[in-house]
Amino acid sequence: MTTKARAHLRKAGMLASIAAAALIGLAPMAASSADAVKLNFWDMIWGPPEYIDAAKELVGEFNKQHPEIQVEYRSVPWNNWYQTFVTAISSGTAPDISTGAGYQAVQLYDQGAIRPIDDVIAELKADGELDDFLPNTVDTLRYDDHYVALPWGIDIRVWFYRKDLLEQAGVKVPTTWEELRAAAKATTKDGKYGIVASGDTGGSHFLYNAILNNGGGLFTADRKLDLKNDRNMEAFEALAAMVADGSVSPASTGYNSDDRRAAFNRGQAAFTLDGPGLIAQAGAEAKNIGVLPPLAGPHGDKATIFWVNNIMVYEQTKHPDEVKTFLKWWSKNQLPLWTKGNTGQLPTRKSIAADKAIKDDVARAYVLDNYVPIGKTTATNASGIFPALNDVEGEGAMQSFAQELWQGKPVGPIVDTAETRLKSILKE
Amino acid sequence: MAYPATSTARRWSLFWLLVAITLVVNLPIILMVMNSFQTTEQLVSRTSILPHDLTLANYRYLNDRTSFWQFLWNSFTVSGVSTVTSAAIAALAGYALSRFRGRLVTGYSRALFVVQMFPIILALIPLFILFRTLGLINSPLSVIILYTVVHLPFATWMARAFFDTIPRELEDAALVDGCSRFGAFVRIVLPLSGPGLAAIGIFSFLFSYNEFFVANVFLKDQSTMTLPVGITMFMQQYSTDWGSLMAAATLTVVPTFILFLGIQKWITYGAVSGGVKG
Amino acid sequence: MTVQPRLAGETGSWRASARSWYASGDALPFLLLAPSIVLMLAVIAYPMLTGFMYGFSTGTLLKPGKFVGLDNYLRLLQSPDFLHALWFSLLFAIFNVIGCYVLGLALALLMNQDVPFRGFFRVALLLPWIVPSIVSIVSWRWMMADQHALFNQIIGAFGGSPIYFLSDQNWAIAAVIVIKIWRSFPFMMLSLLAALQGIDRSLYEAAALDGASRWNQLRYVTMPQLRNISIVLCLLMTIWTVNDFDTPWLLTQGGPANATENLVLLAYRYTFGRNDVGLGSAVSFITLIILMALVVVMLRRQRER
């Protein structure tokens, strides 16, 4: 053999032994990663950009503590979210587990895509952990005699007010609807308005808040539409009266929630309805913003709209046991989502709610103590949540309703149009 | 050719007219660029039109904390590949339409119209299922294929009309010399097609680069997202990170702007007007 | 066409006939068109057929429904939502095409003059078209969202009271149309400019010799030369406008109270908002048919010349 050939051979031999050593060295890692179960976790964007970082970090924590289960995190934008999930499910690429808005689980469950978590609930009960959840949250997510999702966060609507504008107008903090109407009128001057609303989904929340606050509801006990009952109409008329007073900013129809919040934060309106994260995200203006106490309606009722946001398991998952482990762990260890992620949601677990970080946020603690107990879902008066709620809230009928209301149109025709459209959506 | 022999005064008055028009027309874009130099808090609480306290915070944020460059890279790859593929296929098809007649060609020409008119929303779910069976979900290839097809009609028409302007005598001469039909295409016609192909490429690239709807459906993973979709990541359920949004938007426009500046000379008579003669 | 004589040693007659087919010249157009045909069949034809089938059933995207025949189509034709979307789509298309054509032509004529830095302007005026819709429309919203927005500040400077563009049905429609024109004119301008540059100068010289004024030159020399191109451009722009999802969606999401909801938005709302794939597909198909009818009519007019 020539020297060149021998050199070649030696080189090849060296390479081969390096490769072999590498393979052997990597083998345990390879074996363990081959054994590790991979899960896909899709999480909606529940807060400002740091939320995504905090969530990813938390997932990393889990992965470290559970080397045999590796979770991959994906952040899902709210834009066209329903389309995202439906296209994934219909093509067999659904995630193993995801978070989602209040009625996502029940709607997808009805279409055969969600795996009920009755077993998880049973296990939590046996461990004594079920009591850690705030009352009424776990049972809200029951449908068809199954638990379709675990509560992970609460979104709720409360009235906020600008302390500086109320002071300037010499108005005290309202506690009833009458007082709100008067206060809104009194603060409408100098190019500012009493109330700023919006024409998007956030604007439709004004409607739900008003209906529920007055003891009304959208449905009868057997889930039929009940839009025109007395309490509802009273609520609509009350809102329309404030519009007629001129207290509601005319730009509201065309606003989305960003615009609405921006106008409120700039001090262009005295009152608005929003979620608990408003103050924290107001930056420098936070000191000028306060939370109204729950308002009493004409009949003395106090209530507001809330959603128990879901974390749900998909039927297509191939590793139901591992998913359960992750689900329970995530639910228990979520605190960093608040402390580092600044999510705008309220916690559903008492242990997290009792944490100093949450308690120190005065506004949020106030909402937790005073509003959450009186929170009701869109399904109110019907027996539990059901799939069509997502369509009712998302199709656009209620948004159009709000838009026309802010435009100052008379309540009668608006309600008729909405009723026709909602009946069509509910396929009645 | 332009009108000949205009006076200097006229030239410069036209110039200033164009300046005014350009500024007015581009006002939303100028605003966007100015706004990108303010943080979200500043934007939300500001009442004046013109920004003050400019800052580079948004750009730094984009660079350090988001996958912006990944999005940019994805956009370029997807648009680039689909443009090249589309141009190649369109050149072949356009040549066929230009030089041949017959039932196949006429039928194809009509089919192109239908493809152009097709509302893509109709195809969403079937396509998603199709791509799933091919294992293409979340692969840039799915979007590349879709862009190639969706831009095919326009590109083919441009190619066809451009080839129409190249006289047949050149190919006939080559045929007489013993060249095959296809050989004539490759050796005679293609080299002359620079401007035409460039124009097709530019339009295709632009359509793909800016496209939102399809990319939003098929590219969900942060590692494969294109820019228009990535920008929506700045929108939460009920609020938006304006500062980052504006900065990302500004950066998104810069490459295409530079691209167009570089090749605007090529978009001449031969390329475009030929392209839309139909 | 001559048939190639079979060469000695060849096996199988199909190879010989394939070769003769290729030699005859019939094959070349087929081969040239083959790649695009394959792609279009897979990516367009297959979904189109399935979409067509959806139109005859009810059901959601995940749960197939039952066959209902023409029920969806009949319901649509009686639905005020559909009729409004149809009306708005046509209005949107007509105004946009006229608007962007006139603006594009005017600017093309202007740019055809001998102006310093023409090249730069050519690109600068393309920006509305180059910028992604999600970005430019958000900027427009900023300018007209409320009483403090830029437009209202300008109106206020002239002593008027604020207009809430996005809160009023008619103003919202106007806004959507204006923004679409803004986004569309660069393409028109670019194409018309290129066409203008292709017009034979001698025609203008002849007209000038005959004493024709600038305006008459425009009317009798330029416009006839641009006729064919203009028809094709307008046709293309009509198709693009009717199929436009981005502009109305990003500006108003079809509001206020569905005033700016066109056929595509309606299809989207039915499919994803109401979970009714049958209705959504039916709307899409009606859109397709309308466009096809338009195209046939316009092309026939073009051929008449």
Residues A393-420 have pLDDT tens digits of: 888 899 999 999 999 999 999 999 999 9
Give the SS3 label for residue C199. Answer: coil
CATH architecture of C73-304: Orthogonal Bundle (1.10)
Q: What was the pLDDT predicted at A19? A: 42
**What's the pLDDT tens digit per position in A86-132?**
888 877 889 999 999 889 999 899 888 999 999 999 999 998 888 89
**What's the pLDDT tens digit per position in C74-99?**
888 888 899 999 999 999 999 999 99
Among residues of chain A, what percentage have pLDDT more than 90? 54
Q: Is C135 within 8 Å of B96 when comparing Cβ atoms?
A: no
Q: What was the pLDDT predicted at A9? A: 47
Please compute the mean of the pLDDT values over residues C7-27 and round it to a whole number.
62
User: Is the Cβ–Cβ distance between A401 and A410 less than 8 Å?
Assistant: no
**Any A CB within 8 A of C164 CB:** yes
Band of pLDDT at residue B271, cut at 50, 70 and 90: very low
Chains in touch with A (3+ beta-carbon pairs under 8 Å) read: B, C
Please compute the mean of the pLDDT values over residues C166-194 and round it to a whole number.
91
> Residue type for A74, please?
R
Q: Give the residue with greater pLDDT, B232 vs A305.
A: A305
Chain B residues in contact with C48 by the CB 8 A cut-off are 118, 122-123
User: Is the Cβ–Cβ distance between C284 and C275 less than 8 Å?
Assistant: no
Nearest to B252 among C132, C197, C291 (CB): C132
Antiparallel, parallel or unpaired: β A146-147 and A375-376? unpaired
What is the rounded average pLDDT for all residues in chain A? 87
For residue B229, the chain C residue with the least C-alpha distance is: C134
Q: Is A404 within 8 Å of C257 when comparing Cβ atoms?
A: yes
What is the rounded average pLDDT for all residues in chain B? 78
Antiparallel, parallel or unpaired: β C57-59 and A304-314? unpaired
Q: Which two tokens stand for residue A399?
A: 């948004």
DSSP lists the bridge partners of residue A274 as: A158
Has residue B141 got a pLDDT over 60?
yes
Burial A350-360 (b: 16+ CB within 10 A, else e): eebbeeeebee
Has residue C3 got a pLDDT over 60?
no
Task: Give the end-to-end CA distance of chain A in Å, rounded to a whole number.
Answer: 90
Count other Cβ atoms within 10 Å, centred on residue B103: 7
What domains does chain B contain, in order, with CATH numbers? 8-58 (no CATH), 67-277 (1.10.3720.10)
Band of pLDDT at residue C22, cut at 50, 70 and 90: low
Please compute the mean of the pLDDT values over residues A293-298 and round it to a whole number.
92
CATH number of A158-274+395-426: 3.40.190.10
Has residue B140 got a pLDDT over 80?
yes
Best A44, A72, A76, A79 residue to mutate vs chain B (most B CBs within 10 Å): A79
In 3D space, the residue among B80, B74, B57, B56 whose CA is nearest the CA of residue B231 turns out to be: B74
pTM beyond 0.80, yes or no = yes
Q: Is A47 within 8 Å of B236 when comparing Cβ atoms?
A: yes
Chains in touch with C (3+ beta-carbon pairs under 8 Å) read: A, B
In 3D space, the residue among B103, B193, B227, B208 whose CA is nearest the CA of residue B154 turns out to be: B208
Has residue C112 got a pLDDT over 90?
no
Chain C residues in contact with A87 by the CB 8 A cut-off are 61
Residue corresponding to tokens 């046509």: C90
> How far, in Å, are A204, A219, A230 from residue A214 at the CA level?
16, 14, 10
Q: Which residues, numbered 234 to 253 in chain B, qualify as contacts with chain A under a Cβ-Cβ cut-off of 8 Å?
A: 234-242, 244
Q: Which two tokens stand for residue C172?
A: 């919202």
Q: What was the pLDDT predicted at A246? A: 92
DSSP lists the bridge partners of residue A287 as: none
Find the farthest-apart pair of alpha carbons in chain B and give their distance in angstroms, rounded.
75
Q: What was the pLDDT predicted at A18? A: 44
Chain A residues in contact with B62 by the CB 8 A cut-off are none
User: Is the Cβ–Cβ distance between B46 and B112 less than 8 Å?
Assistant: no
Chain B residues in contact with C121 by the CB 8 A cut-off are 18, 22
Q: Is C292 within 8 Å of B130 when comparing Cβ atoms?
A: no
How close, in Å, is residue C269 to chain A by CA atoms? 7
Residue C36 host element (H or E): helix C27-40
**Any B CB within 8 A of C254 CB:** no
Q: Is B276 within 8 Å of C198 when comparing Cβ atoms?
A: no
In 3D space, the residue among A201, A202, A234 whose CA is nearest the CA of residue A216 turns out to be: A234
Q: Which residues, numbered 66 to 95 in chain C, qualify as contacts with chain B under a Cβ-Cβ cut-off of 8 Å?
A: none
Q: What was the pLDDT predicted at B237? A: 47
Chains in touch with B (3+ beta-carbon pairs under 8 Å) read: A, C
For residue A87, the chain B residue with the least C-alpha distance is: B125
DSSP secondary-structure letter at B273? I
- Percentages (nearest 5) of helix, strand, coil residues in chain A: 50, 15, 30
Q: Give the residue with greater pLDDT, A66 vs C219.
A: A66
DSSP lists the bridge partners of residue A419 as: none
Residue A70 host element (H or E): strand A69-76
Q: Give domain limits for chain A.
A: 32-155+307-363, 158-274+395-426
**Any A CB within 8 A of B44 CB:** yes
Q: Judge whether A32-155+307-363 and A158-274+395-426 match in fold.
A: yes
Check if the interface score ipTM surpasses 0.85.
no
Band of pLDDT at residue C218, cut at 50, 70 and 90: confident
Has residue B227 got a pLDDT over 60?
yes
> Residue type for B224, please?
T
- Distance in angstroms (rounded) separating the CA atoms of residues B157 and B109: 9
Q: What was the pLDDT predicted at A108? A: 92
Please compute the mean of the pLDDT values over residues A190-205 and round it to a whole number.
91
DSSP secondary-structure letter at C210? T
Q: Give the residue with greater pLDDT, A252 vs A3.
A: A252
Q: Give the residue with greater pLDDT, A394 vs B133.
A: A394
Fold designation for A32-155+307-363: D-Maltodextrin-Binding Protein; domain 2 (3.40.190)
Has residue C296 got a pLDDT over 50?
yes
In 3D space, the residue among B238, C200, C133, B211 whose CA is nearest the CA of residue A264 turns out to be: B238
Q: Is B233 within 8 Å of A75 when comparing Cβ atoms?
A: yes
Has residue B275 got a pLDDT over 60?
no
**What's the pLDDT tens digit per position in A16-73?**
444 444 444 343 444 444 578 899 999 998 887 788 889 999 999 999 999 999 999 9
Burial A254-290 (b: 16+ CB within 10 A, else e): bbbbbbbbbbbbbbbbbbbbbbbbbbbbbeebeebbb
Please compute the mean of the pLDDT values over residues B223-241 and round it to a whole number.
71
Q: What was the pLDDT predicted at C136? A: 84
Residue corresponding to tokens 């330029």: C222
Lowest mean pLDDT among B75-89, C190-204, C284-298: C190-204
Ramachandran area for residue A56 (φ above 0: left; ψ -120 to 50: alpha; else beta): alpha
Please compute the mean of the pLDDT values over residues C225-243 and round it to a whole number.
86
- Distance in angstroms (rounded) separating the CA atoms of residues A285 and C208: 69
DSSP secondary-structure letter at B240? B
* Numbers of helices and strands, H then E, in chain B: 16, 0
User: Is the Cβ–Cβ distance between A214 and A297 less than 8 Å?
Assistant: yes
Please compute the mean of the pLDDT values over residues C247-254 and round it to a whole number.
86
Q: Give the residue with greater pLDDT, A119 vs C273.
A: A119
Q: What was the pLDDT predicted at B270? A: 42
Chain A residues in contact with B236 by the CB 8 A cut-off are 45-48, 78
Q: Is A399 within 8 Å of C255 when comparing Cβ atoms?
A: yes
- Distance in angstroms (rounded) separating the CA atoms of residues B31 and B253: 14
Residue A179 host element (H or E): helix A177-186
Has residue C7 got a pLDDT over 90?
no
> Residue type for C223, please?
M
